[in-house]
A and B are shown apart, each in its own frame.
Chain A
């Protein structure tokens, strides 16, 4: 009887491993691809080294304006104006309040995974915006009031985006359900609202909110400008969320609705327990997509004289002692936007993975 001994696996031949193999396989497999690689490398050589030189190696990181000798970016401008970019005109002594809110936000996002009790989760969700608002605006528990005129910079951008996202989400779901409703009045109202809002640009809504609305208020009612903008943005975003959620609702097979009914669940029970969890799950990529685009749309508030982080570039560049630093300002703001949007999309990927129940 022949016995079989397991042979040791041979190492891959030296011609199919190592850096040279990888290079040949991926970058220089044939003449055409080799040429493309060379052109690409030349392009990288043309752009990346000068960019790095400008941003890092030749940049001025400290000192005063008079000491600038290098050709590169003058980051001292950003350092000098950093507080304004971050907090706007928020009083310096009170910067800890927005900082604390940021910390709470991260703690909130992190703890959300750990807590499993649904009631606690909902209580968290309802408490979070209230606590944040009270902390930033003050006027309670002996905290000094900070008027919204003083809010600005990245803080304002985040406030506008967060309020837009948090407030428009439930409103959008209600609108989506209303649009599918059998009740004609509800349906007409929802369809009318969604189509009207989607038919006008955000900039129009902001102008209406900031320029036209105040003319109709009676005297003495000082309706906060930021609040007006927030309401406009929330309504605008809700219409888009409604359409995204409707897409999710329509993707749910009819059998699911019937199954909910046959279990004896009423409309709201069926929706909350059966339909919406599935519909929202498939909508996650689109929802996050529209949240990211909302985050970028918030820059439009600069046309109604609110100083978000982008508007700060212009304002800080009007200081007669610091003229001509637009490029540094815009590059800095671009980086911040990229970091935040990229984090949002990564977070959404994680959420998608978490809810993935497919086998």
Chain B
């Protein structure tokens, strides 16, 4: 009996996933590159341009971490991952940080051996409607027809929202997201619903993008953020403070163009951020100029947002919830002090 038990235990031990070791920082420094998990193509977040170069706000986050740790935003190896394999790739140590528009939920944070290091995009379910409906708010959508992908959380959220507002909708159900959009394009329904960041991409795919609009209402919470392995607090801190540094830089008006001039600034907050005074870098286990490198190589959060999804990109998504806290948004950096 004892023997069988031992054999069983050995078998189980062999099956327990071999979580990668704890010292990610020194490993990244040793390799000289950051392995960053990205998507296989999400417009504005991580996608390649015509030259095959990765671009997007998630990609910028990878570059920011590489700048902080290695002082060079180009030392990133992008590992494209599908939604199904993204967390395993992180658990197994194939990647050092995952920046793949992953929603921060309690289950993912607590049961996968992973930690979410912050939020780099507050997303949520929104509505794309054709302008001929003549409405300007989701509250006026009573009786509208929706193209819906069957069995998705979007469908559940939609039902909840309409029930809560005592409205009704008619549904035209499809199997895939492609068919759903096609249905909307062909006018089978008045509206489609999906994550707002996706809706702006869909809008551009319409034959006449001006005939449709995204409503301001957001009916669900989809905070997207970078993820690291649990159990390596040094690395967790670095990734977390990389996020904060980009926000703090925007708040203080430090950007890629003026960062060199800002080194001579008298503002104590700027001095602390850029490593002119204080020990933020040393405490993180990085060089004193870690945040300077981030802003110099990648720019602050606002620059990155505008370039890839905001006003300077074809997507033209408004800042909304992703604005700084003092501009009516939710982006708030803990003070670098």
Q: By the criterion CB–CB under 8 Å, are B40 and A219 in contact?
A: no
Q: By the criterion CB–CB under 8 Å, are B40 and A315 in contact?
A: yes
B84 proximal to A (CB < 8 A): yes
Q: Which of B48, B178, B314 makes the CB contact (< 8 A) with A84?
A: B48
Specify the chain A residue showing the minimal Cβ separation from B15: A216
A295 proximal to B (CB < 8 A): no
Minimum CB–CB distance from B74 to chain A (whole Å) comes to 14
A149-B79 contact, Cβ under 8 Å, with A215-B18, A304-B85, A320-B314 = yes
Minimum CB–CB distance from A137 to chain B (whole Å) comes to 16
Q: By the criterion CB–CB under 8 Å, are B48 and A319 in contact?
A: yes
CB-CB under 8 A from A88, the residues of chain B are 52
Minimum CB–CB distance from A87 to chain B (whole Å) comes to 9
Complex alpha-carbon distance, A217 and B20, angstroms: 9
B80 proximal to A (CB < 8 A): yes
B47 proximal to A (CB < 8 A): yes
Specify the chain A residue showing the minimal Cβ separation from B315: A320
Of the listed stretches B62-70, B89-97, B120-128, B265-273, name the one at the interface; the rest are far from the partner chain. B89-97
- For window 34-63 of B, CB contacts with A under 8 Å fall at 40-44, 47-52, 55
B330 proximal to A (CB < 8 A): no
Contact pattern, A 128-167, Cβ under 8 Å of B = 1, otherwise 0: 0000000000000000000101000000000000000000
B276 proximal to A (CB < 8 A): no
Chain A interface SS verdict (over half):
helix
Minimum CB–CB distance from B225 to chain A (whole Å) comes to 20
Minimum CB–CB distance from B311 to chain A (whole Å) comes to 13
A84-B52 contact, Cβ under 8 Å, with A214-B94, A303-B84, A307-B80 = yes
Of the listed stretches A9-17, A34-42, A194-202, A321-329, name the one at the interface; the rest are far from the partner chain. A321-329
- For window 298-337 of B, CB contacts with A under 8 Å fall at 308-309, 313-315
A83 proximal to B (CB < 8 A): yes
- For window 82-133 of B, CB contacts with A under 8 Å fall at 82, 84-85, 88-89, 91-94
Complex alpha-carbon distance, A210 and B204, angstroms: 34
B163 proximal to A (CB < 8 A): no
Complex alpha-carbon distance, A147 and B35, angstroms: 13
Contact pattern, B 1-25, Cβ under 8 Å of A = 1, otherwise 0: 0000000000000100110110000
Specify the chain B residue showing the minimal Cβ separation from A223: B94
A305-B92 contact, Cβ under 8 Å, with A320-B313, A321-B49 = no
CB-CB under 8 A from B309, the residues of chain A are 320
Q: By the criterion CB–CB under 8 Å, are B308 and A316 in contact?
A: no
B221 proximal to A (CB < 8 A): no
Q: By the criterion CB–CB under 8 Å, are B48 and A316 in contact?
A: yes
Complex alpha-carbon distance, A326 and B177, angstroms: 13
Q: By the criterion CB–CB under 8 Å, are B52 and A324 in contact?
A: no
Taking Cβ atoms with an 8 Å cutoff, the residues of A that contact B are: 80-81, 83-84, 88-89, 92, 147, 149, 207, 210-212, 214-219, 222, 225, 302-305, 307, 311, 314-324, 326
Taking Cβ atoms with an 8 Å cutoff, the residues of B that contact A are: 14, 17-18, 20-21, 40-44, 47-52, 55, 77-82, 84-85, 88-89, 91-94, 178, 201, 204-206, 308-309, 313-315
Task: Jot down 18 A-B pairs with beta carbons below 8 A, ordered by A.
Answer: A89-B48, A149-B78, A210-B85, A214-B89, A214-B92, A216-B14, A219-B18, A219-B20, A305-B82, A315-B40, A315-B47, A316-B41, A317-B41, A318-B43, A319-B48, A320-B308, A322-B50, A324-B206
